[in-house]
Structure 1
Amino acid sequence: MKIASGPVERHTLSVTVDNESGVLARIAGMFSARGYNIESLTVADISDDDAVSRITIVTTGPAQVIEQVVAQLDRLVPVHRVVDLTLAGEHIERELALVKVAGSGENRIEALRLADVFRAKPVDTTTGSFVFELTGSSSKIDRFIALMGEIGLVEVARTGIVAMARGREAL
Structure 2
Amino acid sequence: MSDSNEMRAATIAVLVENEAGVLARVIGLFSGRGYNIESLTVAAVDEARRLSRITIVTTGTEMVIEQIKAQLDRLVPVHKVSDLTLDGPHLTRELALIKVVGKGEHRVEALRLADAFRARVVDATTESFIFEMTGNAEKIDAFCALMRPIGLAEVSRTGAVAMARGPAGLAA
* 1:6-85 map, 5 Å: 6-49=5-48, 51-85=50-84
**Structure 1 length as normaliser, TM-score?**
0.96
Look up the equivalent residue of 1:56 and give its one-letter code: T
Structure 2 unmatched ranges of 5 or more: none
Shift of 1:170: 1.0
Q: Percent identity?
A: 65
Q: In 2, distance between residues paired with 1:44 and 1:50?
A: 14
Q: In 2, distance between residues paired with 1:13 and 1:49?
A: 24
* 1:11-160 map, 5 Å: 11-49=10-48, 51-160=50-159
Shift of 1:168: 1.0
Shift of 1:50: 6.7
Task: Give structure 1 regions of 4+ aligned residues with deviation exceeding 6 angstroms.
Answer: none
Look up the equivalent residue of 2:50 and give its one-letter code: A
Please list the CA deviations of residues 116-167 of structure 1 after superposition, one character each: whole Å capped at 9, or x if unmatched.
Answer: 0000000000000000000000000000011110100010000000000000
Look up the equivalent residue of 2:105 and give its one-letter code: E
Please list the CA deviations of residues 3-52 of structure 1 after superposition, one character each: whole Å capped at 9, or x if unmatched.
Answer: xx611100000000000001000000100000000000000100133710
Are positions 1:162 and 2:153 aligned together? no
SS at match of 1:44: strand
Structure 1 unmatched ranges of 5 or more: none
SS at match of 1:96: strand
**Structure 2 length as normaliser, TM-score?**
0.95
Q: In 2, distance between residues paired with 1:44 and 1:134?
A: 20
Number of residue equivalences = 167
Q: In 1, distance between residues paired with 2:42 and 2:77?
A: 14
